[in-house]
Structure 1
Amino acid sequence: MSDKQQADASLPNPVIPGFHPDPSICRVGDDYYVVCSSFEYFPGIPVFHSRDLFHWTQIGNALDRPEQLRLPADTPASGGIYAPTLRHHDGRFWLIVTNVTEGEGNLLFTATDPAGPWSDPIRLSEVPGIDPDLAWDEDGTCWCTIAGVSQVRIDPHTGEAFGPPRKLWSGAPGAKAPEAPHLYRIGDYWYLLIAEGGTERCHGVSIARGRTPAGPFEPCPDNPVLTHRGTDEPIQNTGHADLVQGPDGSWWLALLGVRPRGGTPGWHVLGRETFVAPVEWVDGWPVVGKVTSELPAPAWPLVPGPAEAVRDDFDLSELRPKWISLRDRPAELCTTKERAGWLTLRARGGSLDEPDVVFVGRRQQHLACEARTRIDPAEGRGGLAVRLDEEHHYEIEASEGEVRVLSRVGPLRTVVGSLAVPAGPVVLGVRIAPTPPRDARTGPDTVTLGVAEPDGTFTALGALDGRYLSTEVAGGFTGRVIGMYAATGTVHFDWFDYAQSNS
């Protein structure tokens, strides 16, 4: 791209679309890294890399071994891994996070390469709460700040805490849920950035500053420095932010937001996504620019990463980093090594209603998209699903000679449609498209499930209202995941493709 083409270009925001909430960003030299919450999914904590702040490539998952990530079968949807913070200090990467599973709590991991491997956990049994942050002062003291907002000194090598947590600041008077603290030394001050207002429509970002990392902290007179509460902005729930400098020394905010669609109250289906916004400093305080769906290209060179393949032929010995499963992924139940060029899944839970169902999926990242897979159900029953949680999912399921569409919404499980098909492999598909506005009750999108015929035609068996696979209906903290599952016996998947569509 020429300098003029770049100057005239605009870049899409979110920069990491789909269910990628609670971003924490870290710069090391010319490289940027982001990690996000992963909740009940395994492997946990996706790790992304960029050279320009706008183009991101997933390079791994920090928690990819069972000894790092304990998610028992009774881990509820939206349980598990909350709000990681990623930092670089003394030649190492440090990752601190909360596993809300009973007996786990706050955990600390280290690595020399953010792509992994990451260490086994250092347990912070004396650090309560959630949303932990790490910061080091000039003499090497490590400060851990947690939601609330409280702070304790720790030894990051052992997990030992030096005394009980001490209250620092609770944000704006009357604002609920002060959380997601991040502490930085910038110029002459230590800045304490927090989220408050809850992670729904009242979410926002506030900041305070002090002369030492332990305070006292003076709140910014213009708090919140970012919120879209009470506005008609297309991006809502803006909050849970982290500050970073761009390649040219400018400042930026990485944050989460959602894109609600449809009528009232608006439904967001992709979960909370990672956005960026420009920051200027005025009188020693950050002034955050507007969070928009398009950003002007920066002055520095853009460095796009490799384009993600539309299709996965399961031709590697291990699954690519984008693939996630529910709570665990035993090799004996999920493998690409049994049948060359196929993904093999062996059933455990009997359906997607069960927390231990064998499932391999990827995050839905576009408001309009299509996904397909070729399944051989000769030894069992399985299919292609759009999942939010155990009580909210749509799927198209194949057994030998039959395909059917199923819907689970709350307590209701329904067979939507069925079709007799020839024995042998069959291509299952899902098409997701925004719903044209009709009135205030219009849902956000339509999820159509069907069979792709050999001649390329698509036979739809069910067109379902997407609002029921949204956070506003289901609750929780996650977004849609599209993937393959086994309900009984053993099923094999030849390939899976996913692409943004023009609908």
Structure 2
Amino acid sequence: MKYSNPVIKGFYPDPSVCKVEDTYYLVCSSFQYFPGVPLFESKDLVNWTQIGHCLTRASQVELGTVGSSGGVFAPTIRHNNGRFYMTTTNDTTRQNFYVWTDDIYGEWSEPVFVDQGGIDPDLYFEEDRAFFMSNGVDDNGIGGVVQCEIDIETGSKRSPSRSIWKGTGGRYLESPHLYKMNGRYYLMAAEGGTEYGHMVIYARGDAPSGPFESYPHNPVLTNRNLGGYELQGVGHGDLIEDHAGNWWMLHLGFRQIGRWLTFHHLGREVFLTPVTFDEDGWFTAGHNGTTLTSFETDRIPDTVIQQAPQPVTFGNTNWALDWCYLRHPAEENYALGTGKVTLKGTEISLDVPASPTFIGLRQRDFAAEIACEVNLTQGTGEAGITLYMDEQHHYDLAVRRNADGYAVIERLNIGDIKSVEHTVELGNSSQAKLIVRASHERYSFFVEADGKEVLLGTAQTRYLSSEVAGGFTGVLIGLYAQGEGSAAEFSNFKCEYAG
């Protein structure tokens, strides 16, 4: 069977995976978006279906006015004695916590906090013991991968926090995960920063607290030396054993917009890479330690067919699964139907770290056409489609009320520069069909009114990239309304991918 990477496209970074019976479960970071921590399931490791979120209530996570790329970092999912656990960091409040559920399709618990600092927490269970790890500083001020034993019922520490491994010397040691395989304990982590120098490293020892011996050929997986290759930033992985006893790594990476164009705006995505153990008990990953855009493998049956992306509409998506909000939404401003959405605007704009009236889904591929009919039914504000990276980097195509009636605007927000580039007057009509066509390098903005399609302008995707905007997120396709007392109806939404 030949499968293509990424196996989950779009802004779904920092994957962690576990297996229960014949089903795999995977979680990803969500940062300032709500609900938090998307949750997926799969039967074959290639096709993933979102089944929920772990953080669905405001009481579980403080988002408030956290800035972009703040909030919920790097979760880990584990299963023990019939119970699922998800542990993560709220980087804004600097707290590590976990939630649990006995029903993977149901609600998760209120947070249980652990008095250990750092980020990217991990849980490891052995018999009746639970070990908690993060990357940070231990009780004696020593940095590295830090571990303590906890009471899993309360989160209280049963042992001091102690640094058990310092990695291989690369910058930004993060993403620790502990496993027991073939009688040994393996500690895997990432270094290099979640960018072009990212890499996966590991060590092994004879006890869960070490000491650990580093793999002699670290890093075990990285694309850092593959200049001119689409897949970059490979790192932050989690290991999983499949039904047949084969090992795999689910990890993040990103696709740059061109062979020599070192920009990425879709965010960090989920990749699947085969892992192989040698006779000495060390493992290797991928193709000579790199991840490829596709792998030919006999580990997955030829009967497994990797599903192609389907057009996205209001009717075939689930508002609670596929769509998300910026921080905690004011629910009274959203009326979400199967064929029509009504949004009420407020004075909060997309430019501030708060919760504007916004509902979005991840952009999953470079080539896409996004279309929606927008009717500004009330007030003097605006409503439309935004391609949103963060508060300072987003492109807006919107219907706006002005002194002479209505108009469609194309606005580019790039850092401190916020410019309405083009305007098409609508006269007394408050309704228009808005269209965005996306490619690797450009977004093109159109309005269809009175049966005619008019190009307002284009903008480069690179200015919505992580290399320009910074941060850890990716572009969301958002529907928004702003302006106190305004309201808008959205209908006939469709997002179709060509790749």
* TM-score normalised by L of structure 2: 0.91
Partner of 1:321: 321
| Cα shift at 1:263 | 7.1
Counterpart of 2:251 in structure 1: which amino acid? L
1:415 and 2:416 equivalent?
Answer: no
1:215 and 2:206 equivalent?
Answer: no
Instruction: Output one character per residue of 1:377-414: Cα deviation in whole Å (capped at 9) or x when no partner.
Output: 12142110001000000010103521100010010100
Q: Report the CA distance shift for 1:29/1:367 in structure 2 as closer, same or farther (over 3 A).
A: same
Counterpart of 1:476 in structure 2: which amino acid? G
| Cα shift at 1:314 | 5.7
SS where residue 149 of structure 1 aligns? strand
Partner of 2:410: 405
Q: Report the CA distance shift for 1:474/1:323 in structure 2 as closer, same or farther (over 3 A).
A: same
User: Contact conserved, 1:51 with 1:303, CA < 8 A, in 2?
Assistant: no
| Cα shift at 1:60 | 1.1
User: Contact conserved, 1:393 with 1:408, CA < 8 A, in 2?
Assistant: yes
1:433 and 2:439 equivalent?
Answer: yes
Partner of 2:123: 134
Q: Report the CA distance shift for 1:474/1:398 in structure 2 as closer, same or farther (over 3 A).
A: same
Partner of 1:172: 168
Partner of 2:447: 451
Partner of 1:482: 477
Counterpart of 2:277 in structure 1: which amino acid? W
Partner of 2:358: 359
SS where residue 271 of structure 1 aligns? coil
Q: Distance in 2 between matches of 1:256 and 1:93?
A: 22
Q: Distance in 1 between matches of 2:309 and 2:364?
A: 12
Counterpart of 1:33 in structure 2: which amino acid? Y
Instruction: Output one character per residue of 1:445-465: Cα deviation in whole Å (capped at 9) or x when no partner.
Output: 10111213564x642211011
Q: Distance in 2 between matches of 1:231 and 1:306?
A: 28
Partner of 1:439: none
Counterpart of 1:110 in structure 2: which amino acid? W
1:464 and 2:459 equivalent?
Answer: yes
Partner of 2:243: 247
Please tell me the root mean square deviation across aligned C-alpha atoms, in Å: 2.0
Q: Report the CA distance shift for 1:226/1:305 in structure 2 as closer, same or farther (over 3 A).
A: closer
1:110 and 2:100 equivalent?
Answer: yes
Q: Distance in 2 between matches of 1:12 and 1:350?
A: 41
User: Contact conserved, 2:386 with 2:396, CA < 8 A, in 1?
Assistant: yes
1:493 and 2:490 equivalent?
Answer: yes
Partner of 2:370: 371
SS where residue 164 of structure 1 aligns? coil
Matching residue within 9, 14, 24 for 2:16: 24
Q: Distance in 2 between matches of 1:227 and 1:259?
A: 14
User: Contact conserved, 1:84 with 1:98, CA < 8 A, in 2?
Assistant: yes
| Cα shift at 1:424 | 3.7
Counterpart of 1:348 in structure 2: which amino acid? T
Identity level (%): 39
Q: Distance in 1 between matches of 2:306 and 2:270?
A: 17
SS where residue 16 of structure 1 aligns? coil
Higher mean displacement: 51-60 or 296-305: 296-305
Partner of 1:200: 195
1:36 and 2:28 equivalent?
Answer: yes
Q: Distance in 1 between matches of 2:38 and 2:296?
A: 27
1:13 and 2:19 equivalent?
Answer: no
Q: Distance in 2 between matches of 1:294 and 1:304?
A: 14
| Cα shift at 1:472 | 0.3
Q: Distance in 1 between matches of 2:368 and 2:309?
A: 15
Partner of 2:140: none
User: Contact conserved, 1:243 with 1:251, CA < 8 A, in 2?
Assistant: yes
User: Contact conserved, 1:62 with 1:114, CA < 8 A, in 2?
Assistant: no
Count of aligned pairs: 475
| Cα shift at 1:305 | 9.0
Matches within 5 A, 1:265-344: 266-282=262-278, 283-290=280-287, 291-296=291-296, 298-301=298-301, 302=303, 310-313=311-314, 319-336=319-336, 341-344=339-342
User: Contact conserved, 1:314 with 1:495, CA < 8 A, in 2?
Assistant: no
Q: Distance in 2 between matches of 1:419 and 1:93?
A: 53
| Cα shift at 1:230 | 2.5
Partner of 1:47: 39
| Cα shift at 1:348 | 2.5
Partner of 1:393: 394
Matches within 5 A, 1:56-95: 56-73=48-65, 75-95=66-86
Q: Report the CA distance shift for 1:366/1:468 in structure 2 as closer, same or farther (over 3 A).
A: same
* TM-score normalised by L of structure 1: 0.90
Q: Distance in 1 between matches of 2:282 and 2:316?
A: 51
Partner of 2:181: 186
Counterpart of 1:426 in structure 2: which amino acid? A
Q: Report the CA distance shift for 1:370/1:265 in structure 2 as closer, same or farther (over 3 A).
A: closer
SS where residue 162 of structure 1 aligns? coil
User: Contact conserved, 1:384 with 1:484, CA < 8 A, in 2?
Assistant: yes
Partner of 2:150: 154
Instruction: Output one character per residue of 1:442-486: Cα deviation in whole Å (capped at 9) or x when no partner.
Output: xxx10111213564x642211011110000001000011011001
User: Contact conserved, 1:209 with 1:217, CA < 8 A, in 2?
Assistant: yes
Instruction: Output one character per residue of 1:150-197: Cα deviation in whole Å (capped at 9) or x when no partner.
Output: 101111211101233101111113x11111000001011010000011
User: Contact conserved, 1:207 with 1:223, CA < 8 A, in 2?
Assistant: yes
Q: Report the CA distance shift for 1:129/1:324 in structure 2 as closer, same or farther (over 3 A).
A: same
User: Contact conserved, 1:314 with 1:343, CA < 8 A, in 2?
Assistant: no
| Cα shift at 1:304 | 6.0
Higher mean displacement: 202-211 or 230-239: 230-239
| Cα shift at 1:261 | 2.4
User: Contact conserved, 2:374 with 2:384, CA < 8 A, in 1?
Assistant: yes
| Cα shift at 1:307 | 7.5
| Cα shift at 1:260 | 1.3
Q: Distance in 1 between matches of 2:277 and 2:316?
A: 50
Instruction: Output one character per residue of 1:187-238: Cα deviation in whole Å (capped at 9) or x when no partner.
Output: 1101000001111111111111111111111111111111111222321111
User: Contact conserved, 1:248 with 1:300, CA < 8 A, in 2?
Assistant: no
Q: Report the CA distance shift for 1:304/1:158 in structure 2 as closer, same or farther (over 3 A).
A: farther
User: Contact conserved, 2:3 with 2:306, CA < 8 A, in 1?
Assistant: no
Q: Which runs of 5+ in 1 are unaligned?
A: 1-6, 435-444
User: Contact conserved, 2:230 with 2:259, CA < 8 A, in 1?
Assistant: no
Q: Distance in 2 between matches of 1:416 and 1:298?
A: 53
